[in-house]
Amino acid sequence: MKKKAVILLSGGLDSATCCAIAKSRGFDIYALTFDYHQRHRIEINSAKKIAKYFNAKEHRIIKIDSSILKGSSLTDNISVPKKSAKKTSQNNIPNTYVPARNTIFLSYALAYAEIINSSDIFIGVNAIDFSGYPDCRPKYISAFRRLAKLATKSALYGNPIRIHTPLINLSKAQIIKKGMTLGVDYSLTHSCYDPSPFGKPCGKCDSCILRKKGFLEAGIRDV
């Protein structure tokens, strides 16, 4: 029987690449996606397609109560900043930051891993071509790793849960190149924070810009 990996799968290109990496390392995929009333909920459809593409053994889509994860342009009636606009939030963290999002997502991943008896969680955080969110930084991940070692019954009995972040030091171009060698079909992924009702990317938000720059630098055409 193959080892089981919990993959935090948003539907974006990073998490799709993470899925491919886990698969290439011999894991069966147990995908975990969140419906947190994000503006770009269309990414959940991409997550479904990616999970299917990688023959996920399970794909759980967890609803987060709509009263939490607020105060962000991704979840509230606040404009998503575009390349021509000034950053609208305090200092350098854009208003697309969602309070404690990765902590909530990783906590659920911890519970899910423990339930299915998995010791491995993959999260596609990246600290190179990213938006400066505090909960994507390597030292945040280190702190979560430490927490995970203490938080669960399985950890207590010598089976700690590992948090894998294979993309953390890669540029977006490197992530795309890596994914291409592993057969990721990036046409299944969605990146835009502020798509049209039919899912057309705006082309101007941070996420669109990072994606565009990544494909350009990788010398690969985005389909």
Task: Please give the residue ranges that form the binding site for a second copy (CB under 8 A).
Answer: 60, 62-63, 65, 67-71, 89-91, 93, 97, 99-104, 106-108, 110-112, 114-115, 134-135, 137, 139-140, 143-144, 146-147, 149-153, 155-157
Q: Which of 104, 41, 95 is nearest to 206 (CA)?
A: 95
Least distance in Å: CB of 171 to a second copy? Answer: 23
CB of 89 to a second copy, least distance (A): 8
Minimum distance, C-beta of residue 62 to a second copy, in the bound complex (Å): 5
- Radius of gyration of the chain measured on its C-alpha atoms: 17
Q: Which is nearer to a second copy, 157 or 198 (CB)?
A: 157
Distance of closest approach, residue 180 Cβ to a second copy, in angstroms:
33
Q: Give the three-state DSSP class for 7.
A: strand
C-alpha distances (whole Å) from 213 to each of 84, 123, 144, 208 are 16, 22, 30, 9
Amino acid symbol at 201: P
Q: Which is nearer to a second copy, 151 or 220 (CB)?
A: 151
Q: Which is nearer to a second copy, 85 or 143 (CB)?
A: 143
Shortest separation between residue 196's beta carbon and a second copy, angstroms: 28
d(CA 180, CA 184): 5
Which CB sits closer to a second copy, 39 or 178? 39
Query: Judged by CB, which is closer to a second copy: 78, or 111?
Result: 111
Burial of 90 (0-12, 13-18, 19+ CB in 10 A): exposed
- The Cα–Cα gap between 176 and 155 comes to 34
